[in-house]
Every structure is written in structure tokens, then in C-alpha cells.
Amino acid sequence: MTENINGVLVFVEMVDNQPVELGLEMLGLARRISDSHGGTVTAVVFGTNLEGVGDNLIAYGADQVLINDNVIFDNFHAEAWLPDLSKIVAEVAPAIVLIGHSLSGTDLAPRLAFRLDIDVATGCESIEIVNGRPHMTRSCFGGLAREVVTFNKTPAVATIRSKTQQALTPMMERAGEFKFVSSILDLNSLRSRVIKREREKTVGVKLESAKIVISGGLGLGGPEGFNTLNEIAELVDGAVGASRAACDLDWCPRSYQVGLTGRTVAPELYLAVGISGASHHMAGCGNAKTIVSINSDPAAAIFKSSRFGIVGNCQEVMPALVEEIKKLKA
């Protein structure tokens, strides 16, 4: 039996009053750690109208759920969330704090670590307990390397990359308890103010939950190249992504960016069209089950991660592929 640790705290982000998938994936990781190394799994949620979330998170692996239900937590604002989260982490005193490697999570986790004078590993892909110490494996150098780090102080804070962990199958009969906690936030203490929020409406399937993602890069030759991608996405119920280079040129919305600093996807099928396969891009799609790429350069790095490849001009292949898929669907 390996040495025991003091439990895992998981900060579960909510969107539209539902826990995000990454939150459930992290609960799966926390459960597996606790099952073999002891300690309890505490889920922490901030938001409004959170009825039902307690039972839900218990079903996904939490032993204890702390719910901070308050209108001020309707939208993420790191500075406002920090006092409550710091207090909860200090009180629960777990061995590990897991936070999603989303834009909010990466905004929150380093602040939490410095406020509590502990350390943080961002963008982790796995955590193993060795001799009672959490060993965190994270991607670095634009996805080219992995480092394994441990910390001398506890708790260790880790942000976890989406799609690297498996959520448990929910079991409604799992035992656990939830309780509401009250906020200690003094609104007058806030030094930053959110003035305005403009959200893009997602049409069709969300990138992260799509089973098929079709992504385009500079090889598309221009914004009109995205038309065939959109057509295929519509035919197969997929979503469209892009390389950063394509986003930088405004060929598509910013929110399409897949990669190190964009979305992380792990679909059944990732179709990379005119994308070279830079490590920064692969950091966001490397966990796809099957990658298929179309690129005119036989030496393109993307083929190294692809199951199927077409060496050819995507501007000719894609319209033909649309027709073929139409036939399949007919």
C-alpha cells in the first residue's frame, strides 16, 4: 500500500447551471486518487440557482460538495472568487487542489497559489502519487516536451487539461453529502470591475463536445476555404476548428482556435485540412482518437500524428469530399 494523502479538492466550473465536462473529468481523477490513497473528494461549486448540483456531483465521485450559491458568482470574475475559494481551500486542507485548465481556471489557479503561498502546476495531463507526493505531468515547450514536477509545500494546485481524464459513470446511489457555504466577499474590496461581456452565439455543435471536428489552416488559402469545412460539419453533425494562423488572419472567428492557447478537443475524428501540425496546434487535438489530414506537403508534421493522410491540394480535395459525404448520407 502506498502512502496515503489528505484528499483532493476539485473546483467545478458551472456553465448555465450545469457542471462543465472538465469538472466531471477532474472528479473522476480525484476519485481514482482517493480510492487508492485515501482521503476524501471535495467538490466546490460557485454560481447561482445550484439546486441539484450536490447530488449530481456526488454521483460523479464527490464525497462532499460545498456550494457557494450567490448572485455575485453568476459570471466568472477571478478577483471576486478568490477570497471565498482561498478560505475554503485553507479550511479543507487537501493534498491536491484541481482546477480546470480553462481560461477561467488559468486565471484563478495561480492567484490562489500565491495567495495561500503554495505552488501551482498548470496544464497537467496526469497526476500520480509516489511515496505520498503528487507527481504532476504537464506539457511544456509548446507541447514538445513533458515535465514531471513535485512541490515541497501542500496543497499542490494543479490545472488539468480538458479531455485528459475520464469522468466516472454517474451513480445516483453513491453516498455523500452537500452543504451550502456563505460568501465572505466584501464587494468594496474589489479593485477590478467588469464593464461589459459580449459572448458569441455558438451555432451547431460545440467544439469540445463534437464527435467530429474539421479544422482548417493556412492551406485553405482564404476565408472561403472554411465553406467546405462548414458544409461537412453540417452533414456529419461536427464542429469546425482552426489553426491559430487562420484565426490571426480573421479567416474565421477567434473561438475556433484549437491548440495550446485555444480549445482542447478529443473527438473520434479530427480532420486537419491545410494544417502543418505545429506542436502548439497538436497540443489542442493530440488526444483525438483518429486524426486524418489533407496537406500538399508530404513532409508536413501533421502526417506523423495521422491515421490516414492525403497528400494533395485541399482546395480540390475538399469540394470532392463534400460530394462523397453527401452520397454516404443520402
Partner 1 sequence: MKIVVCVKQIQNPEIPPVQFRVDEEKKAVIPVSGLSPVLSPYDEQAVEAALRIRDAAGEGSDIEITVVTIAPAGARAGIKAALALGADNAVLLSEPTFDGSGGYVTARNLAETIRAIGDVDLILTGRQAADWDAGVVGLGIAEILDIPAITFACDVQVTDGVVTVQRVLEDGIETVEADLPALVTISNELGKVRYASMRETMRAAKKPIRDWSPEDIGLDEAQVGFKAVRHVLERLYIPINDIECEYIEGDTAAEMAASLARRLREAELV
Ligand X SMILES: Cc1cc2nc3c(=O)[nH]c(=O)nc-3n(C[C@H](O)[C@H](O)[C@H](O)COP(=O)(O)OP(=O)(O)OC[C@H]3O[C@@H](n4cnc5c(N)ncnc54)[C@H](O)[C@@H]3O)c2cc1C
Binding site for ligand X (CB under 6 A): 142, 217-219, 221, 243-246, 257-262, 274-276, 278, 280-281, 284, 294-297, 300, 313-315
Return the one option of partner 1, ligand X, none that residue 274 interacts with (CB less than 5 to 8 A, by type).
ligand X
- Least Å distance, CB 191 to partner 1, is 4
Q: Does residue 17 bind partner 1 (CB under 8 A)?
A: no
Phi/psi at 278 (nearest 5 deg)? -60, 150
Which one, of 114, 42, 53, lies nearest residue 78 by Cα?
114
User: In whole angstroms, what is the distance from residue 40 CA to residue 228 CA?
Assistant: 50
User: In whole angstroms, what is the distance from residue 296 CA to residue 14 CA?
Assistant: 42
Strand partners, 129: 134
- Least Å distance, CB 223 to ligand X, is 13
Return the one option of ligand X, partner 1, none that residue 161 interacts with (CB less than 5 to 8 A, by type).
none
Contact residues for 96 (Cβ-Cβ < 8 A; gap 6+): 5, 7, 8, 9, 30, 33, 127, 134, 155, 156, 157, 158
- Least Å distance, CB 249 to ligand X, is 9
Return the one option of ligand X, partner 1, none that residue 276 interacts with (CB less than 5 to 8 A, by type).
ligand X
Instruction: With both helix axes pointing from N to C terminus, report the angle between 314-329 and 226-236 in degrees, rounded to the nearest 10.
Output: 20
**CB distance 96 to 135 below 8 Å:** no
**Toward partner 1, which CB reaches closer, 31 or 138?**
138
Binding to partner 1 (CB under 8 A) within 149-208 occurs at 149-153, 191-200, 202
Binding to partner 1 (CB under 8 A) within 260-289 occurs at 260-261, 263, 268-269, 278-280, 286
Tally of CB atoms within 10 A around 315:
18
Binding to partner 1 (CB under 8 A) within 141-160 occurs at 141-142, 144-153
CA angle 288, 101, 72 (to 5 degrees): 135
**CB distance 109 to 116 below 8 Å:** no
The residue count for binding partner 1 (CB under 8 A) is 82
Return the one option of ligand X, partner 1, none that residue 311 interacts with (CB less than 5 to 8 A, by type).
partner 1
Return the one option of partner 1, ligand X, none that residue 295 interacts with (CB less than 5 to 8 A, by type).
ligand X
User: In whole angstroms, what is the distance from residue 60 CA to residue 43 CA?
Assistant: 10
Return the one option of ligand X, partner 1, none that residue 31 interacts with (CB less than 5 to 8 A, by type).
none
**Toward ligand X, which CB reaches closer, 104 or 264?**
264
